[in-house]
Protein backbone atom coordinates (compact mmCIF):
# COMPACT_ATOMS: atom_id res chain seq x y z
CA UNK A 1 0.00 0.00 0.00
CA UNK A 2 2.85 2.37 0.88
CA UNK A 3 4.57 1.66 -2.43
CA UNK A 4 1.31 2.21 -4.19
CA UNK A 5 0.89 5.57 -2.43
CA UNK A 6 4.44 6.53 -3.36
CA UNK A 7 3.73 5.55 -6.96
CA UNK A 8 0.60 7.67 -7.02
CA UNK A 9 2.50 10.57 -5.42
CA UNK A 10 5.27 10.23 -7.98
CA UNK A 11 2.79 10.17 -10.82
CA UNK A 12 1.13 13.30 -9.48
CA UNK A 13 4.54 14.93 -9.12
CA UNK A 14 5.57 14.05 -12.68
CA UNK A 15 2.24 15.20 -14.06
CA UNK A 16 2.48 18.46 -12.15
CA UNK A 17 6.07 19.01 -13.28
CA UNK A 18 5.17 18.41 -16.91
CA UNK A 19 2.24 20.77 -16.64
CA UNK A 20 4.47 23.39 -15.00
CA UNK A 21 7.01 23.12 -17.83
CA UNK A 22 4.27 23.44 -20.41
CA UNK A 23 2.91 26.53 -18.69
CA UNK A 24 6.38 28.10 -18.45
CA UNK A 25 7.00 27.49 -22.16
CA UNK A 26 3.62 29.03 -22.97
CA UNK A 27 4.45 31.98 -20.74
CA UNK A 28 7.77 32.53 -22.49
CA UNK A 29 6.34 32.30 -26.01
CA UNK A 30 3.32 34.41 -25.20
CA UNK A 31 5.34 37.14 -23.50
CA UNK A 32 7.40 37.67 -26.67
CA UNK A 33 4.46 39.09 -28.58
CA UNK A 34 2.22 40.32 -25.76
CA UNK A 35 3.84 43.74 -25.46
CA UNK A 36 3.32 44.45 -29.16
CA UNK A 37 -0.26 43.22 -28.97
CA UNK A 38 -0.97 45.44 -25.96
CA UNK A 39 0.43 48.48 -27.77
CA UNK A 40 -1.66 47.72 -30.84
CA UNK A 41 -4.75 47.42 -28.68
CA UNK A 42 -4.08 50.83 -27.13
CA UNK A 43 -3.69 52.34 -30.62
CA UNK A 44 -6.97 50.77 -31.70
CA UNK A 45 -8.74 52.13 -28.62
CA UNK A 46 -7.47 55.63 -29.40
CA UNK A 47 -8.72 55.44 -32.99
CA UNK A 48 -12.13 54.38 -31.72
CA UNK A 49 -12.15 57.22 -29.20
CA UNK A 50 -11.19 59.74 -31.88
CA UNK A 51 -13.95 58.44 -34.14
CA UNK A 52 -16.46 58.86 -31.32
CA UNK A 53 -15.40 62.48 -30.81
CA UNK A 54 -15.66 63.10 -34.56
CA UNK A 55 -19.12 61.56 -34.70
CA UNK A 56 -20.20 63.62 -31.70
CA UNK A 57 -19.05 66.89 -33.26
CA UNK A 58 -20.60 66.15 -36.65
CA UNK A 59 -23.81 65.16 -34.89
CA UNK A 60 -23.96 68.63 -33.30
CA UNK A 61 -23.61 70.26 -36.71
CA UNK A 62 -26.15 67.90 -38.22
CA UNK A 63 -28.59 68.68 -35.41
CA UNK A 64 -28.43 72.38 -36.22
CA UNK A 65 -29.01 71.56 -39.88
CA UNK A 66 -31.97 69.27 -39.13
CA UNK A 67 -33.60 71.88 -36.86
CA UNK A 68 -33.61 74.23 -39.83
CA UNK A 69 -35.60 71.95 -42.13
CA UNK A 70 -39.11 72.85 -40.88
CA UNK A 71 -38.16 76.54 -40.94
CA UNK A 72 -36.96 76.24 -44.54
CA UNK A 73 -40.28 74.70 -45.61
CA UNK A 74 -42.10 77.63 -44.02
CA UNK A 75 -39.72 80.18 -45.54
CA UNK A 76 -40.34 78.75 -48.99
CA UNK A 77 -44.03 79.49 -48.70
CA UNK A 78 -45.30 82.69 -50.24
CA UNK A 79 -46.93 83.83 -46.97
CA UNK A 80 -43.55 84.01 -45.25
CA UNK A 81 -42.03 86.13 -48.00
CA UNK A 82 -44.97 88.55 -47.97
CA UNK A 83 -44.98 89.02 -44.19
CA UNK A 84 -41.61 90.38 -43.04
CA UNK A 85 -42.54 90.18 -39.34
CA UNK A 86 -43.46 86.52 -39.69
CA UNK A 87 -40.34 86.01 -41.77
CA UNK A 88 -38.12 87.40 -38.98
CA UNK A 89 -39.96 85.37 -36.34
CA UNK A 90 -39.10 82.16 -38.20
CA UNK A 91 -35.37 82.73 -38.29
CA UNK A 92 -35.44 84.10 -34.75
CA UNK A 93 -37.09 80.85 -33.62
CA UNK A 94 -34.42 78.88 -35.46
CA UNK A 95 -31.66 80.80 -33.67
CA UNK A 96 -33.24 80.22 -30.25
CA UNK A 97 -33.93 76.51 -30.79
CA UNK A 98 -30.54 75.55 -32.21
CA UNK A 99 -26.89 75.92 -31.20
CA UNK A 100 -26.37 78.59 -33.85
CA UNK A 101 -25.45 81.95 -32.32
CA UNK A 102 -26.62 83.77 -35.44
CA UNK A 103 -28.98 82.99 -38.33
CA UNK A 104 -29.11 84.87 -41.59
CA UNK A 105 -31.25 84.52 -44.72
CA UNK A 106 -29.75 86.14 -47.78
CA UNK A 107 -30.23 86.17 -51.54
CA UNK A 108 -27.70 85.13 -54.15
CA UNK A 109 -26.22 88.63 -54.05
CA UNK A 110 -25.34 88.30 -50.37
CA UNK A 111 -27.98 90.73 -49.13
CA UNK A 112 -30.28 89.56 -46.37
CA UNK A 113 -31.59 89.81 -42.85
CA UNK A 114 -30.64 88.20 -39.53
CA UNK A 115 -32.70 86.92 -36.60
CA UNK A 116 -32.76 90.39 -35.06
CA UNK A 117 -34.45 91.81 -38.13
CA UNK A 118 -31.27 93.68 -39.09
CA UNK A 119 -30.19 94.01 -42.69
CA UNK A 120 -26.87 92.33 -43.40
CA UNK A 121 -24.53 92.15 -46.33
CA UNK A 122 -22.07 89.27 -46.67
CA UNK A 123 -21.34 89.63 -50.36
CA UNK A 124 -17.70 90.59 -49.75
CA UNK A 125 -16.91 87.76 -47.33
CA UNK A 126 -14.68 84.88 -48.35
CA UNK A 127 -17.16 82.30 -47.10
CA UNK A 128 -20.00 83.70 -49.22
CA UNK A 129 -17.79 83.55 -52.29
CA UNK A 130 -17.03 79.95 -51.39
CA UNK A 131 -20.77 79.25 -51.19
CA UNK A 132 -21.31 80.69 -54.65
CA UNK A 133 -18.34 78.82 -56.10
CA UNK A 134 -19.02 75.44 -54.49
CA UNK A 135 -22.72 75.15 -55.25
CA UNK A 136 -23.47 72.32 -52.79
CA UNK A 137 -21.19 72.81 -49.80
CA UNK A 138 -22.87 72.32 -46.40
CA UNK A 139 -20.22 73.48 -43.91
CA UNK A 140 -17.74 76.33 -44.20
CA UNK A 141 -15.09 77.47 -41.74
CA UNK A 142 -14.49 81.18 -41.33
CA UNK A 143 -13.00 83.67 -38.92
CA UNK A 144 -14.89 86.67 -40.34
CA UNK A 145 -18.45 85.82 -39.34
CA UNK A 146 -18.73 88.71 -36.88
CA UNK A 147 -16.89 91.73 -35.55
CA UNK A 148 -14.96 89.62 -33.04
CA UNK A 149 -13.71 87.42 -35.88
CA UNK A 150 -14.36 84.33 -33.82
CA UNK A 151 -13.78 80.94 -35.39
CA UNK A 152 -17.09 79.83 -36.83
CA UNK A 153 -18.57 77.05 -38.94
CA UNK A 154 -21.25 78.34 -41.27
CA UNK A 155 -23.95 75.76 -41.93
CA UNK A 156 -25.43 76.39 -45.37
CA UNK A 157 -28.94 75.47 -46.50
CA UNK A 158 -30.50 76.40 -49.85
CA UNK A 159 -33.91 78.08 -49.86
CA UNK A 160 -36.04 78.20 -53.02
CA UNK A 161 -39.19 80.20 -53.67
CA UNK A 162 -41.20 81.67 -56.51
CA UNK A 163 -39.10 84.82 -56.32
CA UNK A 164 -35.77 83.07 -56.65
CA UNK A 165 -33.12 81.26 -54.62
CA UNK A 166 -31.36 82.19 -51.45
CA UNK A 167 -29.30 80.80 -48.58
CA UNK A 168 -30.13 80.16 -44.94
CA UNK A 169 -26.88 80.51 -43.00
CA UNK A 170 -26.49 79.28 -39.42
CA UNK A 171 -23.35 80.32 -37.55
CA UNK A 172 -21.96 77.70 -35.15
CA UNK A 173 -19.21 79.00 -32.86
CA UNK A 174 -16.13 76.82 -32.60
CA UNK A 175 -16.00 77.87 -28.94
CA UNK A 176 -18.46 75.02 -28.42
CA UNK A 177 -15.86 72.62 -29.81
CA UNK A 178 -13.67 73.46 -26.81
CA UNK A 179 -15.97 71.48 -24.51
CA UNK A 180 -15.84 68.29 -26.59
CA UNK A 181 -13.02 66.81 -24.47
CA UNK A 182 -14.28 68.12 -21.14
CA UNK A 183 -15.32 64.67 -19.92
CA UNK A 184 -12.80 62.00 -20.80
CA UNK A 185 -11.02 59.00 -19.35
CA UNK A 186 -7.90 59.92 -21.29
CA UNK A 187 -4.77 61.61 -20.04
CA UNK A 188 -5.34 65.01 -18.39
CA UNK A 189 -2.94 66.41 -20.99
CA UNK A 190 -4.95 65.01 -23.90
CA UNK A 191 -6.19 67.39 -26.58
CA UNK A 192 -8.29 67.43 -29.73
CA UNK A 193 -7.55 69.59 -32.74
CA UNK A 194 -9.62 69.99 -35.91
CA UNK A 195 -7.59 70.91 -38.98
CA UNK A 196 -8.22 71.42 -42.68
CA UNK A 197 -6.42 69.59 -45.49
CA UNK A 198 -3.40 71.88 -45.14
CA UNK A 199 -3.14 71.42 -41.38
CA UNK A 200 -4.50 74.85 -40.45
CA UNK A 201 -6.10 74.67 -36.99
CA UNK A 202 -9.86 75.25 -37.00
CA UNK A 203 -10.57 74.46 -33.36
CA UNK A 204 -9.05 72.88 -30.25
CA UNK A 205 -10.33 71.14 -27.16
CA UNK A 206 -8.65 69.85 -24.03
CA UNK A 207 -5.31 70.77 -22.54
CA UNK A 208 -3.12 73.58 -23.84
CA UNK A 209 -0.17 72.15 -25.67
CA UNK A 210 2.95 73.20 -27.52
CA UNK A 211 1.60 71.50 -30.66
CA UNK A 212 -1.30 73.95 -30.70
CA UNK A 213 0.65 77.17 -30.26
CA UNK A 214 0.99 77.83 -33.98
CA UNK A 215 -1.80 78.21 -36.47
CA UNK A 216 -0.84 75.08 -38.40
CA UNK A 217 -0.43 71.70 -36.72
CA UNK A 218 1.62 70.15 -39.52
CA UNK A 219 4.04 73.07 -39.56
CA UNK A 220 4.49 72.80 -35.79
CA UNK A 221 5.54 69.14 -35.96
CA UNK A 222 7.67 69.56 -39.09
CA UNK A 223 11.04 69.91 -37.38
CA UNK A 224 12.51 66.59 -36.34
CA UNK A 225 9.45 64.55 -37.36
CA UNK A 226 9.87 64.32 -41.13
CA UNK A 227 8.99 60.61 -41.37
CA UNK A 228 5.92 60.97 -39.18
CA UNK A 229 4.84 64.10 -41.06
CA UNK A 230 5.20 62.32 -44.40
CA UNK A 231 3.05 59.45 -43.10
CA UNK A 232 0.40 61.81 -41.73
CA UNK A 233 0.19 63.80 -44.98
CA UNK A 234 -0.05 60.61 -47.04
CA UNK A 235 -2.84 59.17 -44.92
CA UNK A 236 -4.73 62.47 -44.85
CA UNK A 237 -4.54 62.62 -48.63
CA UNK A 238 -5.86 59.06 -48.93
CA UNK A 239 -8.59 59.53 -46.32
CA UNK A 240 -6.99 56.94 -44.01
CA UNK A 241 -6.84 56.93 -40.24
CA UNK A 242 -3.73 56.20 -38.22
CA UNK A 243 -1.37 56.84 -35.30
CA UNK A 244 1.99 58.62 -35.44
CA UNK A 245 4.54 59.46 -32.76
CA UNK A 246 6.04 62.96 -32.79
CA UNK A 247 8.39 64.91 -30.53
CA UNK A 248 8.04 68.65 -29.94
CA UNK A 249 10.20 70.57 -27.45
CA UNK A 250 11.70 67.24 -26.28
CA UNK A 251 8.24 65.95 -25.30
CA UNK A 252 6.89 62.87 -27.11
CA UNK A 253 3.27 62.58 -28.18
CA UNK A 254 1.12 60.10 -30.02
CA UNK A 255 -1.22 61.68 -32.57
CA UNK A 256 -4.29 59.72 -33.62
CA UNK A 257 -6.07 61.10 -36.66
CA UNK A 258 -9.16 60.27 -38.67
CA UNK A 259 -10.91 61.95 -41.61
CA UNK A 260 -14.11 63.79 -40.69
CA UNK A 261 -15.78 62.87 -43.98
CA UNK A 262 -16.58 66.46 -44.87
CA UNK A 263 -14.58 69.38 -46.32
CA UNK A 264 -11.36 67.30 -46.09
CA UNK A 265 -11.23 68.13 -42.39
CA UNK A 266 -9.20 65.90 -40.10
CA UNK A 267 -9.59 65.35 -36.35
CA UNK A 268 -6.43 64.74 -34.31
CA UNK A 269 -6.37 63.32 -30.79
CA UNK A 270 -3.08 63.88 -28.99
CA UNK A 271 -1.87 62.12 -25.84
CA UNK A 272 1.52 62.02 -24.20
CA UNK A 273 3.81 59.05 -24.78
CA UNK A 274 3.86 58.61 -21.00
CA UNK A 275 0.12 57.94 -21.14
CA UNK A 276 0.63 55.34 -23.88
CA UNK A 277 3.32 53.63 -21.82
CA UNK A 278 1.01 53.48 -18.79
CA UNK A 279 -1.80 52.00 -20.85
CA UNK A 280 0.46 49.38 -22.41
CA UNK A 281 1.86 48.46 -19.00
CA UNK A 282 -1.66 48.13 -17.63
CA UNK A 283 -2.76 45.82 -20.45
CA UNK A 284 0.48 43.86 -20.18
CA UNK A 285 -0.08 43.56 -16.45
CA UNK A 286 -3.43 41.96 -17.16
CA UNK A 287 -1.78 39.47 -19.49
CA UNK A 288 0.86 38.62 -16.90
CA UNK A 289 -1.90 38.11 -14.38
CA UNK A 290 -3.60 35.71 -16.76
CA UNK A 291 -0.39 33.77 -17.34
CA UNK A 292 0.23 33.62 -13.62
CA UNK A 293 -3.20 32.12 -13.29
CA UNK A 294 -2.12 29.35 -15.64
CA UNK A 295 0.72 28.50 -13.28
CA UNK A 296 -1.68 28.44 -10.40
CA UNK A 297 -3.66 25.83 -12.32
CA UNK A 298 -0.81 23.39 -11.76
CA UNK A 299 -1.14 23.69 -8.02
CA UNK A 300 -4.90 23.64 -8.24
CA UNK A 301 -4.58 20.41 -10.19
CA UNK A 302 -2.95 18.82 -7.12
CA UNK A 303 -6.08 19.71 -5.17
CA UNK A 304 -8.39 18.41 -7.88
CA UNK A 305 -10.94 17.04 -5.48
CA UNK A 306 -11.33 20.41 -3.84
CA UNK A 307 -11.61 22.03 -7.25
CA UNK A 308 -14.34 19.60 -8.25
CA UNK A 309 -16.28 20.49 -5.13
CA UNK A 310 -15.89 24.22 -5.76
CA UNK A 311 -16.91 23.81 -9.41
CA UNK A 312 -19.94 21.79 -8.42
CA UNK A 313 -20.93 24.46 -5.95
CA UNK A 314 -20.40 27.24 -8.50
CA UNK A 315 -22.48 25.39 -11.03
CA UNK A 316 -25.23 24.91 -8.51
CA UNK A 317 -25.20 28.62 -7.67
CA UNK A 318 -25.21 29.55 -11.37
CA UNK A 319 -28.10 27.20 -12.02
CA UNK A 320 -30.06 28.70 -9.15
CA UNK A 321 -29.29 32.16 -10.49
CA UNK A 322 -30.48 31.15 -13.96
CA UNK A 323 -33.68 29.75 -12.52
CA UNK A 324 -34.17 32.93 -10.50
CA UNK A 325 -33.59 35.11 -13.57
CA UNK A 326 -35.97 32.97 -15.58
CA UNK A 327 -38.60 33.26 -12.88
CA UNK A 328 -38.18 37.07 -12.89
CA UNK A 329 -38.36 37.45 -16.67
CA UNK A 330 -41.41 37.95 -18.85
CA UNK A 331 -40.81 35.44 -21.62
CA UNK A 332 -42.52 37.50 -24.34
CA UNK A 333 -40.73 40.84 -23.87
CA UNK A 334 -37.56 39.89 -21.98
CA UNK A 335 -38.39 42.51 -19.33
CA UNK A 336 -39.11 41.85 -15.68
CA UNK A 337 -42.45 40.21 -14.99
CA UNK A 338 -45.02 41.70 -12.64
CA UNK A 339 -43.79 40.02 -9.44
CA UNK A 340 -40.13 40.83 -10.10
CA UNK A 341 -40.93 44.44 -11.03
CA UNK A 342 -42.89 45.02 -7.85
CA UNK A 343 -40.28 43.29 -5.68
CA UNK A 344 -37.33 45.24 -7.09
CA UNK A 345 -39.14 48.59 -6.80
CA UNK A 346 -40.08 47.88 -3.21
CA UNK A 347 -36.49 46.89 -2.41
CA UNK A 348 -35.19 50.16 -3.88
CA UNK A 349 -37.78 52.22 -2.01
CA UNK A 350 -36.79 50.57 1.24
CA UNK A 351 -33.09 51.22 0.66
CA UNK A 352 -33.50 54.78 -0.73
CA UNK A 353 -36.47 56.39 1.00
CA UNK A 354 -35.28 59.95 0.21
CA UNK A 355 -34.34 59.42 -3.45
CA UNK A 356 -36.65 61.13 -5.94
CA UNK A 357 -37.88 58.67 -8.56
CA UNK A 358 -40.49 58.45 -11.32
CA UNK A 359 -43.00 55.70 -11.98
CA UNK A 360 -44.54 55.41 -15.44
CA UNK A 361 -47.59 53.25 -16.10
CA UNK A 362 -47.86 52.52 -19.83
CA UNK A 363 -51.13 51.14 -21.20
CA UNK A 364 -51.08 50.27 -24.93
CA UNK A 365 -54.08 51.91 -26.57
CA UNK A 366 -56.71 49.73 -28.26
CA UNK A 367 -54.70 46.55 -27.79
CA UNK A 368 -57.80 44.38 -28.00
CA UNK A 369 -58.51 45.89 -31.40
CA UNK A 370 -54.96 45.00 -32.50
CA UNK A 371 -55.51 41.37 -31.51
CA UNK A 372 -58.98 41.26 -33.10
CA UNK A 373 -58.01 42.85 -36.41
CA UNK A 374 -54.42 41.73 -36.90
CA UNK A 375 -54.26 38.56 -34.87
CA UNK A 376 -52.80 37.55 -31.53
CA UNK A 377 -49.42 36.73 -33.11
CA UNK A 378 -49.10 40.31 -34.31
CA UNK A 379 -50.29 41.55 -30.93
CA UNK A 380 -47.48 39.57 -29.32
CA UNK A 381 -45.04 41.11 -31.81
CA UNK A 382 -46.21 44.60 -30.78
CA UNK A 383 -45.57 43.80 -27.12
CA UNK A 384 -42.23 42.15 -27.90
CA UNK A 385 -41.05 45.12 -29.97
CA UNK A 386 -42.24 47.55 -27.33
CA UNK A 387 -40.34 45.70 -24.62
CA UNK A 388 -37.14 45.54 -26.66
CA UNK A 389 -37.21 49.16 -27.79
CA UNK A 390 -38.30 50.86 -24.59
CA UNK A 391 -35.75 48.89 -22.62
CA UNK A 392 -32.99 50.46 -24.70
CA UNK A 393 -33.70 54.13 -23.93
CA UNK A 394 -33.13 53.98 -20.18
CA UNK A 395 -30.27 53.22 -17.84
CA UNK A 396 -29.45 49.63 -17.00
CA UNK A 397 -30.13 50.44 -13.33
CA UNK A 398 -33.73 51.50 -13.99
CA UNK A 399 -36.53 48.98 -13.50
CA UNK A 400 -38.74 48.16 -16.51
CA UNK A 401 -41.33 45.42 -16.47
CA UNK A 402 -44.46 44.08 -18.09
CA UNK A 403 -47.10 44.04 -15.37
CA UNK A 404 -50.18 43.08 -17.39
CA UNK A 405 -51.30 41.90 -20.80
CA UNK A 406 -50.69 45.28 -22.41
CA UNK A 407 -49.37 47.22 -19.42
CA UNK A 408 -45.79 48.17 -18.69
CA UNK A 409 -44.19 49.83 -15.68
CA UNK A 410 -41.07 51.99 -15.80
CA UNK A 411 -39.34 53.04 -12.56
CA UNK A 412 -36.57 55.63 -13.01
CA UNK A 413 -34.20 55.90 -10.07
CA UNK A 414 -32.52 58.99 -8.63
CA UNK A 415 -34.19 61.82 -10.61
CA UNK A 416 -32.33 64.94 -9.56
CA UNK A 417 -34.68 67.87 -10.23
CA UNK A 418 -37.86 69.10 -11.87
CA UNK A 419 -36.12 69.70 -15.18
CA UNK A 420 -35.06 66.05 -15.30
CA UNK A 421 -38.59 64.95 -14.38
CA UNK A 422 -40.01 66.77 -17.38
CA UNK A 423 -37.15 65.69 -19.62
CA UNK A 424 -37.73 62.00 -18.84
CA UNK A 425 -41.47 62.44 -19.31
CA UNK A 426 -40.90 63.97 -22.74
CA UNK A 427 -38.55 61.13 -23.62
CA UNK A 428 -41.20 58.51 -22.87
CA UNK A 429 -43.89 60.49 -24.67
CA UNK A 430 -41.67 61.06 -27.72
CA UNK A 431 -40.77 57.38 -27.80
CA UNK A 432 -44.32 56.49 -28.75
CA UNK A 433 -44.39 59.10 -31.49
CA UNK A 434 -41.82 57.08 -33.38
CA UNK A 435 -42.61 53.58 -32.13
CA UNK A 436 -43.47 51.02 -34.78
CA UNK A 437 -43.84 47.26 -34.58
CA UNK A 438 -43.99 44.55 -37.22
CA UNK A 439 -41.39 43.23 -39.63
CA UNK A 440 -43.38 43.54 -42.84
CA UNK A 441 -46.48 45.45 -41.78
CA UNK A 442 -45.43 48.47 -39.73
CA UNK A 443 -47.88 49.36 -36.99
CA UNK A 444 -47.56 52.59 -35.01
CA UNK A 445 -48.90 51.62 -31.62
CA UNK A 446 -49.72 54.37 -29.13
CA UNK A 447 -50.13 54.36 -25.38
CA UNK A 448 -51.77 56.18 -22.53
CA UNK A 449 -49.10 56.97 -19.95
CA UNK A 450 -49.47 57.92 -16.31
CA UNK A 451 -46.63 59.39 -14.22
CA UNK A 452 -46.22 59.64 -10.45
CA UNK A 453 -43.26 60.99 -8.47
CA UNK A 454 -41.73 59.16 -5.50
CA UNK A 455 -41.87 59.87 -2.61
CA UNK A 456 -44.01 63.04 -2.97
CA UNK A 457 -46.99 61.23 -4.49
CA UNK A 458 -46.58 57.89 -2.78
CA UNK A 459 -44.14 56.76 -0.13
CA UNK A 460 -44.83 53.08 -0.77
CA UNK A 461 -45.34 50.94 -3.85
CA UNK A 462 -49.10 50.58 -3.60
CA UNK A 463 -49.75 54.31 -3.18
CA UNK A 464 -47.35 55.27 -5.94
CA UNK A 465 -48.87 52.64 -8.24
CA UNK A 466 -52.36 54.03 -7.66
CA UNK A 467 -51.12 57.57 -8.39
CA UNK A 468 -49.50 56.50 -11.67
CA UNK A 469 -52.60 54.51 -12.58
CA UNK A 470 -54.67 57.64 -11.96
CA UNK A 471 -52.40 59.39 -14.48
CA UNK A 472 -53.26 56.66 -17.02
CA UNK A 473 -56.94 57.25 -16.34
CA UNK A 474 -56.48 60.98 -16.99
CA UNK A 475 -54.60 60.29 -20.23
CA UNK A 476 -57.35 57.98 -21.48
CA UNK A 477 -60.04 60.46 -20.47
CA UNK A 478 -58.28 63.13 -22.51
CA UNK A 479 -58.38 60.96 -25.63
CA UNK A 480 -55.47 58.48 -25.23
CA UNK A 481 -52.10 58.62 -27.01
CA UNK A 482 -50.62 61.00 -24.43
CA UNK A 483 -48.91 61.30 -21.09
CA UNK A 484 -50.51 62.66 -17.92
CA UNK A 485 -48.97 63.37 -14.52
CA UNK A 486 -50.80 62.46 -11.34
CA UNK A 487 -50.44 66.09 -10.26
CA UNK A 488 -51.43 68.70 -12.85
CA UNK A 489 -48.72 71.16 -11.79
CA UNK A 490 -46.03 68.93 -13.34
CA UNK A 491 -47.65 69.53 -16.71
CA UNK A 492 -47.18 73.29 -16.56
CA UNK A 493 -44.78 74.61 -19.14
CA UNK A 494 -41.31 75.38 -17.94
pLDDT digits (tens, 9 = 90+) for 336-372: 999 999 999 999 999 998 899 999 999 988 888 888 7
In b/e form, how buried is each residue of 3-42, taking b as 16+ CB within 10 angstroms? eeeeeeeeeeeeeeeebbeebeeebeeeeeebeeebbeeb
**3-state secondary structure at position 407:** strand
Cα(488)–Cα(156) distance, integer angstroms: 42
Distance CA 430, CA 393 (A): 11
- Give me the pLDDT at residue 381, please: 86
**pLDDT confidence of residue 257:** 94
DSSP secondary structure, 66-96, as one string: HHHHHHHHHHTSHHHHH-HHHHHHHHHHHHH
Sorting pLDDT into bands at 50, 70 and 90, what band is 313? low
**Interacting residues of 100 by C-beta distance below 8 A, sequence separation 6+:** 64, 94, 155, 170, 171, 172
Higher model confidence: residue 307 or residue 197?
197
CB-count burial class (<10 Å; 0-12, 13-18, 19+) for 130: middle
Across the range 31-35, mean pLDDT stands at 71
* pLDDT computed for residue 461 by the predictor: 93
ω into residue 11 within 30 of 0, thus cis?
A: no
Q: Where is pLDDT greater, at 475 or 306?
A: 475
Looking at per-residue confidence, does 489 or 421 come out higher?
A: 421
For residue 58, pLDDT over 60 is answered with yes
Q: What local confidence, expressed as pLDDT, does residue 7 receive?
A: 58
Residue 121: phi, psi to the nearest 5?
-135, 120
In the prediction, which pLDDT does 255 show?
94
Average pLDDT over every residue of 128-151: 79
Contacts of 46 (CB under 8 A, 6+ apart): 243, 254, 256, 269, 271
Least confident of 40-44, 368-372, 469-473: 368-372
Q: Which of 1-5, 253-257, 259-263 is predicted with the least confidence, judged by mean pLDDT?
A: 1-5
What pLDDT does 35 receive? 73
Residues facing 257 on adjacent strands: 242, 268
Provide the H-helix boundaries in 76-223. Answer: 78-82, 84-97, 126-134, 217-220
Element (H, E) at 170: strand 164-173
Mean pLDDT confidence for 374-397: 85
**How does residue 472 score in pLDDT terms, banded at 50, 70 and 90?**
very high
pLDDT at 45 over 70: yes
pLDDT of residue 258: 95
Q: Which of 144-148, 372-376, 437-441 has the lowest mean pLDDT?
A: 144-148
Q: pLDDT value at position 367?
A: 84
Going by their DSSP bridges, the two strands 447-454 and 482-485 should be labelled as parallel
Q: Which backbone phi and psi does 204 adopt, to 5 degrees?
A: -135, 160
So what's the pLDDT on residue 81?
Answer: 60
* Whether residue 221 has pLDDT greater than 50: yes
Residue 213 reports pLDDT greater than 70: yes
Q: How high is the mean pLDDT of the chain?
A: 83
Instruction: Round to whole Å and give the CA distance between 223 and 219.
Output: 8
Write down the pLDDT at residue 405: 85
Sign of torsion, CA 276 280 281 283?
positive
295 — pLDDT class (breaks 50, 70, 90): low
Q: Name the percent of the chain lying above pLDDT 90.
A: 28
Least confident of 213-222, 280-289, 482-491: 280-289
Q: pLDDT grade, residue 305 (50/70/90)? A: very low
CB 141 within 8 A of CB 151: yes
For residue 494, what pLDDT band results from cuts at 50, 70 and 90?
A: very low
Beta-carbon contacts of 394 under 8 Å, excluding residues fewer than 6 positions away, are 400, 410, 412
The confidence band for 306, taking pLDDT boundaries of 50, 70 and 90, is low
pLDDT number for residue 2? 44
Q: What distance in Å separates the CA atoms of residue 397 and residue 387, rounded to the nearest whole number?
A: 16
- Distance between CA atoms of 235 and 258, rounded to whole angstroms? 9
How far apart CA 41 and CA 470 sit, in angstroms, is: 54
Query: What value does the mean pLDDT take over residues 86-92?
Result: 84
Q: Are 330 and 387 in contact (CB under 8 A)?
A: yes
Q: Average of pLDDT values for 105-115?
A: 88
Higher pLDDT, 216 or 20: 216
Distance CA 83, CA 23 (A): 83
Amino acid sequence: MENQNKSVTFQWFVTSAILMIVVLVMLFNFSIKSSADAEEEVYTDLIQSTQQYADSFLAELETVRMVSQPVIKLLEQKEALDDEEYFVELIEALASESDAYQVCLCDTAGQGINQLGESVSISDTDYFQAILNSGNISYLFTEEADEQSQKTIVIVERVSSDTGRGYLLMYYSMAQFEGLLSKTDLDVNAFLVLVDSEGDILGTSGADNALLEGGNLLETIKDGNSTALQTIRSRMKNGARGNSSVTVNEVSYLLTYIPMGTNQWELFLGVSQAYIDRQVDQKWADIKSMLTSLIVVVFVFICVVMVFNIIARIRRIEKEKQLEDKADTDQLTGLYNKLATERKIKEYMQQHPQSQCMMFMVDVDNFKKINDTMGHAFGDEVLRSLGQQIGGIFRASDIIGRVGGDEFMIFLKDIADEETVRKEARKVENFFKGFQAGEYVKYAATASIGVAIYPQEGGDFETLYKAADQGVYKAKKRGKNQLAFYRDEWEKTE
